[in-house]
């Protein structure tokens, strides 16, 4: 028995733990986000940072391939993920709490990669400011608009709601009511 093992054990032996970490990191890179427990997310957060930092150097494909065995995950990492994270030096992931799982009351979290590039955020903020300025410049002349006549409401709104409820129930049963 190896005492004082670094990191979280997660109730698994060494081989099962490394397999779990490889699968979680691979899924995170492939899909961009995963839903898992809080302890698993915290356990792989450092691994994700380490792998993405290694992948930023050009000759690191061999080092990354030791941990990420699947070719499609390696390609996604080098072609899609790393170019978007060139400006960042660390902190490539975010963890958002979703609530407790019903079966065992474990905290579920959504772990996602922070893939938003700064260019897109600057462009979107410029577009928003342009839209705001355009909306301020528009004036509406009331004489040119159509006169809107309000509809009279029924005197018994409860019957309308009750009729609508009856229609919904009959549609659920498959019976058409006219």
Residue 143 counted as domain residue: no
Whole-number Å distance between alpha carbons of 169 and 105 = 35
User: Is position 99 within any domain?
Assistant: yes
Helices 38-55 and 14-31 cross at an angle (nearest 10°) of 70
CATH code: domain of residue 54: 3.90.1030.10
Is 57 within the bounds of a domain? yes
**84 vs 138, more confident:** 84
Report how many domains make up the chain. Answer: 1
Token pair for residue 144?
């040119």
In a domain, residue 175? The reply is no
In a domain? residue 164: no
pLDDT at 101: 94
- With respect to residue 133, please indicate whether it lies within any of the assigned structural domains: no
Q: Is residue 43 part of a domain?
A: yes
pLDDT at residue 5, rounded to an integer: 73
Q: Quick check: helix, strand or coil at residue 127?
A: helix
Instruction: Quote the pLDDT of residue 95.
Output: 97
49: domain range?
A: 14-117
- Evaluate whether residue 130 is within a structural domain: no
pLDDT tens per residue, range 113-138: 998 755 555 555 556 666 555 555 55
Give pLDDT, residue 37: 97
Taking alpha carbons only, the member of 26, 29, 25 closest to residue 45 is 25
Residue 3 pLDDT level (bands cut at 50, 70, 90) = confident
The alpha carbon of residue 133 and the mean position of all alpha carbons in its chain are separated, in whole angstroms, by: 31
Mean pLDDT of 96-106: 96
pLDDT (tens digit, 9 = 90+) per residue, 10-62? 989 999 999 999 999 999 999 999 999 999 999 999 999 999 999 998 788 89
């Amino acid at each position: 028995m190896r005492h004082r093992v670094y990191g979280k054990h997660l109730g698994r032996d060494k081989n099962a733990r490394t397999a779990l970490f490889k699968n979680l990191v691979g899924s995170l890179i492939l899909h961009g986000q995963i839903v898992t427990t809080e302890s698993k997310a915290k356990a792989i957060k450092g691994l994700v940072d380490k792998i993405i930092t290694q992948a930023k150097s050009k000759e690191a494909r061999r080092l990354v391939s030791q941990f990420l065995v699947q070719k499609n995950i390696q390609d996604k990492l080098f072609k899609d993920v790393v170019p978007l994270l060139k400006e960042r030096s660390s902190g490539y992931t975010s963890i958002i709490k979703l609530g407790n799982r019903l079966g065992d009351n474990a905290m579920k979290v959504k772990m996602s990669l922070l893939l938003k590039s700064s260019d897109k955020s600057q462009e979107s903020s410029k577009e928003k400011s342009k839209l705001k300025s355009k909306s301020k410049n528009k004036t509406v002349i009331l004489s040119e608009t159509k006169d809107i006549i309000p509809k009279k409401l029924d005197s018994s709104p409860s019957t309308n709601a009750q009729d609508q409820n009856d229609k919904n129930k009959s549609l659920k049963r498959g019976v058409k009511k006219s």
